[in-house]
């Protein structure tokens, strides 16, 4: 699926049943800026992994590397291993277009296309060459339902997506990302531009999505991480200081740095 | 104290004048740090432009309708007649349709040439080869914009006309040659405006598109072009307005025959070429002179229509 399979890619044994993405010794550079340093981290299947850490510590960079959105940034360079389905996603032979259909991404600022609500969700389907009115309708409806947006917009599917509120727009973006049924969804501060009520809706949504997709969420909101994440990774200056089950991390962090950050002593 | 909207309870005897707006007077105009001085200067400049536009419009309208009001030409016949024969003493006829037709045909053909190439090169330098495309094409476009139209005309005369002659026969002069010359002439305008339009499409939409598994080409034609479409159309219409008004380069290659041409490669004429060619040989107040003013009026009306079109397009482009 993902690659034009070639013999020189190594297929290691799956290490643990429930790990969907395993990052090993990942290094990312922007020109001379070493943004991600030797990061090793698993992302578990059907769970939410929260990435926390102070601004500029490389969370977004890490996330973008997973579905190769970093390829679009001139001067960005990656080394290491991101194992997914037995292959290294950083390999030159990866078809990034196919990869991004399996590993979707949602951005900090809601970014619906300046088109109708329906068109927004139909867009990735068209990219994937999925045709047929009936089929498109079904998937659009299903995606909106999964994103808990269907009831609010079912009578106005042909209206501009930009007429929705910020929170609705973000759920539309999630619905859009779900349309191709990705296995993994990467979310970069999906609620930081939203009000508390809209954020709560998105949190509920992410919890419900856990049944179908594996999620990695960057957040600056400690309570949010504590509420929704199964595992949490603490990034600091490009490195992962600590990774653990959220319940352990937030009650008995191993490192002083983690504790300080979680308790808001710096950031 | 209750102060109603638009009224002031502060009379002029108030002691503390620090927070009170100054009155407009010659003194405020002369004072160095007066806010009003700048405002007045800007207002004068703006009024000058408005006055110029209005007087041109008024003058051209008054002159342009003389042929109908004073000389008694029939406006319908003027617009639809196909014979332009002012020299004949008994049967002088003033049918402007060949020139109106010539202007529109040349303009539309020029747009058909310039739009795809212009938008294509704009896409190339903004989306495909961002760094070196920009570096190479930007100066080329700037140079092309700066070349005077007579040079385009000369190139048309020495390259395009002979080429058409050898390919299609005939003289080579005609609307096709004019459209090619004008198309190349407006190409840089269209390209640079289109590039601005494409650059102003927010990057978020490109990101969204790539993140949804779009290829570069899909991103360009399903996301970038639709988002930029109103501004792209504006770029083309602006180019068309230039093409419509171009006289010199067209005059050099169109052949200047005052007849309705049967094909694109027969000599023809446009509104502008007729005016530039004939105006010098007429006397003020003669029927022919008035008729040429009427052609000018048609040009002005078309300019207004182009402007309204651009306004409409750019308003539609603003997203709700
Ligand atoms: N597009 C880019 N080009 C060059 N350097 C970048 C780019 N994006 C990020 N960086 C650099 O990489 C480092 C990590 O940035 P990143 O955006 O990943 O941090 P972050 O943890 O997501 O921060 P925040 O919480 O503020 O979003 C920073 O030093 C930043 O300056
Ligand atoms: Mg970030």
3-state secondary structure B148-177: CHHHHHHHHHHHHHHHHHHHHCCCCCCHHH
- Candidate from A69, A97, A163 with C-beta closest to B320: A163
For chain A, which residues lie within 8 Å of any Cβ of chain B, measuring from their own Cβ?
67, 69, 72, 74, 97-101, 104-105, 107, 109, 111-115, 123-124, 126-128, 160, 162-163, 173, 176-177, 180
Chain A / chain B CB contacts < 8 angstroms = 71
B209, B213, B220, B221: best to mutate for the A interface, most A CBs within 10 A: B213
Does the CB of B217 have a partner CB in chain A at under 8 Å?
no
Residues of B in contact with A176 (CB under 8 A): 208, 212
Q: What is the distance in angstroms between the Cα of B136 and the nearest Cα belonging to chain A?
A: 19
Mean pLDDT of chain A: 90
* Residue keyed to tokens 């000599």: B267
- Candidate from A100, A109, A126 with C-beta closest to B204: A109
Which residue in chain B has the smallest CA separation from A63? B211
Q: Does the pLDDT value for residue A1 go beyond 60?
A: no
Is the domain of B280 the same as that of B315? yes
Find the mean pLDDT for residues B176-185: 96
Q: What is the pLDDT of residues A174-210, one digit of tens each?
A: 999 999 999 999 999 999 989 999 999 999 999 999 9
Is the domain of B171 the same as that of B88? yes
The answer to whether residues A43 and A67 touch, using CB atoms and an 8 Å cutoff, is no
Is the domain of B91 the same as that of B202? yes
Q: Does the pLDDT value for residue B1 go beyond 70?
A: no
Q: Does the pLDDT value for residue B194 go beyond 80?
A: yes
> Is the CB–ligand 1 distance for residue A65 below 6 Å?
no
Does a structural domain hold residue B52? yes
Domain extent at residue B241: 77-319
Give start and end residues of each alpha helix (H) in A6-95: 59-66
Q: What is the pLDDT of residues B251-261, one digit of tens each?
A: 999 999 998 99
Looking at residue A48, what DSSP letter applies?
Answer: E
CA–CA gap between residue B183 and residue B239 (Å, rounded): 9
Task: Give the ligand whose atoms come closest to the C-alpha of residue A35.
Answer: 1
Is the domain of B225 the same as that of B277? yes
**Of A252, A251, A255, which is closest to residue A239 (Cα–Cα)?**
A255
What pLDDT is stored for residue B136 in this prediction?
Answer: 86
Q: Does the pLDDT value for residue A3 go beyond 70?
A: no
CA–CA gap between residue B179 and residue B175 (Å, rounded): 6
Does the CB of B226 have a partner CB in chain A at under 8 Å?
yes
Burial class of residue A221, CB neighbours in 10 A (0-12, 13-18, 19+): middle
Q: Does the pLDDT value for residue B3 go beyond 70?
A: no
Instruction: Say if the Cβ atoms of B207 and A126 lie within 8 Å.
Output: no
Is the domain of B178 the same as that of B309? yes
Residue of the nearest CA to atom 13 in ligand 1?
Answer: A35
What pLDDT is stored for residue B89 in this prediction?
Answer: 76
> Is the CB–ligand 1 distance for residue A55 below 6 Å?
yes
Give start and end residues of each alpha helix (H) in chain A: 59-66, 96-102, 117-127, 133-146, 150-153, 166-178, 196-209, 222-228, 246-251, 256-262
Instruction: Say if the Cβ atoms of B212 and A126 lie within 8 Å.
Output: no
Does a structural domain hold residue B72? no
Does a structural domain hold residue B70? no
What pLDDT is stored for residue B130 in this prediction?
Answer: 80
CATH of the domain at B212: 1.10.3720.10
> Is the CB–ligand 1 distance for residue A56 below 6 Å?
yes
Q: Does the pLDDT value for residue A263 go beyond 80?
A: yes
Does a structural domain hold residue B71? no
What pLDDT is stored for residue A10 in this prediction?
Answer: 44
Is the domain of B113 the same as that of B48? no
As for the ipTM of the complex, it is 0.90
Does a structural domain hold residue B214? yes
What pLDDT is stored for residue A11 in this prediction?
Answer: 41
B113 or B170, which is more confident?
Answer: B113
Find the mean pLDDT for residues B52-75: 92
What contacts B273, CB < 8 A, 6 or more positions away? B99, B102, B247, B250, B251, B254, B256
Instruction: Say if the Cβ atoms of A111 and B207 lie within 8 Å.
Output: yes
Give me the torsion for CA of A83, A85, A91, A95, rounded to 10°: -140
Q: Looking at the domain that runs over A16-252, which CATH code has it been given?
A: 3.40.50.300
Q: What is the pLDDT of residues B15-42, one digit of tens each?
A: 676 776 766 666 666 666 667 778 888 9
Q: What is the distance in angstroms between the Cα of A258 and the nearest Cα belonging to chain B?
A: 31
Q: How many domains does chain B have?
A: 2
- For chain A, the 3-state helix, strand and coil shares in percent, each to the nearest 5, are 35, 25, 35
Cα A207 to middle of ligand 2, angstroms:
22
- Candidate from A109, A115, A176 with C-beta closest to B212: A176
B92-151 residues touching A, CB cutoff 8 A: 131
Res. A173 pLDDT band, cuts 50 70 90: very high
Is the domain of B155 the same as that of B184? yes
Task: Give the ligand whose atoms come closest to the C-alpha of residue A56.
Answer: 1
What pLDDT is stored for residue A15 in this prediction?
Answer: 39
Residues of B in contact with A115 (CB under 8 A): 226
| Bridge partner list, B170 | none
Cα B205 to middle of ligand 2, angstroms:
18
Is the domain of B196 the same as that of B124? yes
Is the domain of B303 the same as that of B209? yes
CA–CA gap between residue B171 and residue B173 (Å, rounded): 5
What pLDDT is stored for residue B310 in this prediction?
Answer: 84
Cut 0.80: pTM above it = yes
Mean pLDDT of chain B: 88
Does a structural domain hold residue B69? no
What pLDDT is stored for residue B85 in this prediction?
Answer: 87
Residues of A in contact with B207 (CB under 8 A): 69, 72, 107, 111
Res. A6 pLDDT band, cuts 50 70 90: very low
Strands A184-188 and A103-106: parallel
Find the mean pLDDT for residues B243-250: 93
Q: What is the pLDDT of residues B85-136, one digit of tens each?
A: 888 777 888 999 999 999 999 999 999 999 999 999 999 999 988 888 788 8
pLDDT > 70 in chain A, percent: 93
Find the mean pLDDT for residues B47-62: 95
Q: What is the distance in angstroms between the Cα of A247 and the nearest Cα belonging to chain B?
A: 31
Instruction: Say if the Cβ atoms of B212 and A123 lie within 8 Å.
Output: yes
Q: Does the pLDDT value for residue A73 go beyond 80?
A: yes
Residues of A in contact with B319 (CB under 8 A): 114, 160, 162
**Domain ranges in chain A?**
16-252
Find the mean pLDDT for residues A73-86: 92
Cα B223 to middle of ligand 1, angstroms:
26
Is the domain of B34 the same as that of B90? no
Q: What is the pLDDT of residues A105-137, one digit of tens each?
A: 999 999 999 999 999 999 999 999 999 999 999
What pLDDT is stored for residue B13 in this prediction?
Answer: 63
Is the domain of B39 the same as that of B18? yes
Which residue in chain A has the smallest CA separation from B223? A113
> Is the CB–ligand 1 distance for residue A59 below 6 Å?
yes
Q: What is the distance in angstroms between the Cα of B233 and the nearest Cα belonging to chain A?
A: 17
What pLDDT is stored for residue B91 in this prediction?
Answer: 80
Cα A76 to middle of ligand 1, angstroms:
11
Does a structural domain hold residue B308? yes
pLDDT > 90 in chain B, percent: 65
CA–CA gap between residue A91 and residue A82 (Å, rounded): 9
Is the domain of B88 the same as that of B58? no
């Amino acid at each position: 699926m993902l690659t034009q399979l070639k013999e020189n890619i190594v297929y290691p044994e799956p290490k643990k049943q429930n790990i969907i993405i395993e990052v090993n010794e990942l290094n990312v550079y922007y020109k001379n800026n070493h943004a991600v340093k030797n990061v090793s981290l698993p992302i578990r299947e059907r769970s939410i992994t929260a990435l926390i850490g102070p601004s500029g510590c490389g969370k977004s960079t890490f996330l973008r590397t997973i579905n190769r959105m970093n390829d679009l940034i001139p001067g960005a360079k990656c080394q290491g291993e991101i194992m997914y389905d037995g292959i290294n996603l950083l390999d030159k032979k990866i078809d990034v277009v196919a990869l991004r259909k399996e590993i979707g991404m949602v951005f900090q600022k809601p970014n619906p296309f300046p088109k109708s609500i329906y068109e927004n969700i139909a867009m990735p389907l068209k990219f994937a060459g999925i045709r047929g009115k009936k089929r498109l309708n079904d998937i659009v409806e299903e995606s909106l339902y999964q994103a808990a947006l269907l009831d609010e917009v079912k009578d106005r599917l042909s209206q501009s997506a930009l007429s929705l509120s910020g929170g609705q727009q973000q759920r539309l973006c999630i619905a859009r990302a779900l349309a191709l049924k990705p296995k993994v969804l990467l979310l970069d501060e999906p609620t930081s531009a939203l009000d508390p009520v809209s954020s709560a809706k998105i949190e509920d949504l992410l919890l419900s999505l856990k049944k179908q997709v594996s999620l990695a969420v960057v957040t600056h909101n400690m309570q949010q991480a504590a509420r929704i994440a199964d595992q949490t990774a603490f990034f600091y200056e490009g490195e992962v200081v600590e990774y653990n089950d959220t319940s352990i991390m937030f009650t008995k962090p191993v490192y002083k740095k983690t504790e300080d950050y979680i308790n808001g002593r710096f950031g | 104290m209750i102060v109603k909207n638009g009224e002031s309870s502060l009379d002029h005897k108030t002691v503390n004048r620090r927070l009170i707006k100054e009155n407009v007077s010659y003194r405020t105009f002369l004072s160095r740090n007066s806010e009003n001085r700048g405002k007045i200067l800007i207002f004068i400049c703006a009024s000058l432009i408005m006055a110029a536009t209005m007087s041109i419009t008024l003058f051209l309208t008054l002159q342009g309708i003389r042929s109908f009001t004073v000389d008694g030409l029939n406006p319908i016949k003027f617009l639809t007649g196909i014979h332009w024969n002012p020299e004949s003493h008994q049967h002088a006829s003033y049918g402007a349709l060949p020139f109106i037709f010539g202007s529109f045909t040349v303009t539309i053909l020029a747009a058909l040439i310039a739009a795809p190439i212009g938008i294509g090169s704009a896409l190339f330098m903004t989306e495909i080869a961002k760094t070196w495309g920009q570096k190479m094409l930007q100066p080329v476009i700037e140079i092309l914009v700066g070349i005077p139209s007579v040079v385009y005309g000369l190139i048309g005369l020495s390259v395009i006309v002979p080429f058409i002659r050898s390919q299609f026969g005939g003289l080579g002069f005609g609307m096709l040659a004019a459209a090619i010359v004008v198309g190349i002439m407006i190409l840089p305008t269209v390209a640079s405006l289109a590039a601005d339009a494409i650059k102003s499409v927010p990057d978020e939409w490109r990101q969204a598109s790539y993140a949804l598994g779009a290829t570069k080409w899909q991103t360009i034609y399903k996301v970038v072009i639709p988002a930029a479409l109103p501004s792209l159309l504006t770029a083309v219409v602006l180019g068309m307005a230039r093409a419509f008004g171009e006289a010199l380069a067209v005059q050099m290659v169109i052949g200047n025959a005052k007849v309705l041409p049967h094909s694109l490669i027969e000599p023809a004429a446009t509104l502008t070429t007729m005016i530039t060619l004939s105006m010098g040989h007429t006397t003020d107040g003669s029927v022919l002179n008035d008729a040429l003013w009427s052609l000018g009026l048609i040009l002005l009306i078309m300019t207004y229509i182009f402007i309204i079109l651009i306004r409409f397009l750019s308003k539609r482009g603003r997203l709700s």
